[in-house]
């Protein structure tokens, strides 16, 4: 019988220390909890938040109106205004 090391009994994780779609490295990640530990609904919420933050940064950097941003990003004007109101 093969002798098992203590590490053999530790749970295995599917985490990639090279980061994920939210951060390039686990060690520098700003999220309070790892996305690999979150349920899918929470991950989808984070994806949406990140997308909205990037859209808002672009709107601000380029001085786009809500109408221009809606056309550019393929969103409804109301969606753009709601994102701006929540920022």
* pLDDT per residue rounded down to tens, the chain (87 residues): 555 555 545 445 545 567 787 888 888 888 888 877 878 778 888 888 888 999 999 999 999 999 999 999 999 999 999 999 976
30 assigned to some structural domain: no
45 assigned to some structural domain: yes
Domain that holds residue 43: 39-87
The count of structural domains within the chain is 1
28 assigned to some structural domain: no
Name the pTM for this structure. 0.60
Distances (CA, A) of 52 to 1, 16, 69, 71, 81: 56, 25, 12, 15, 11
pLDDT of residue 15: 53
What's the token pair of residue 47?
């994806």
63 assigned to some structural domain: yes
68 assigned to some structural domain: yes
What is d(CA 7, CA 57) in angstroms, rounded to the nearest whole number? 45
27 assigned to some structural domain: no
- DSSP secondary structure code for residue 4 in this structure: P
47 assigned to some structural domain: yes
């Amino acid at each position: 019988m093969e002798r098992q090391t203590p590490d053999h009994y530790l749970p295995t994780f599917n985490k990639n220390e090279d980061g994920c779609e939210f951060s390039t490295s686990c060690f520098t990640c700003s999220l309070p909890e790892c996305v690999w530990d979150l349920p899918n609904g929470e991950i989808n919420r984070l994806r949406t938040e990140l997308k909205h933050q990037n859209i808002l940064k672009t709107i601000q950097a380029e001085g786009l109106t809500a109408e221009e941003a809606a056309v550019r990003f393929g969103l409804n004007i109301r969606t753009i205004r709601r994102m701006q109101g929540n920022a």
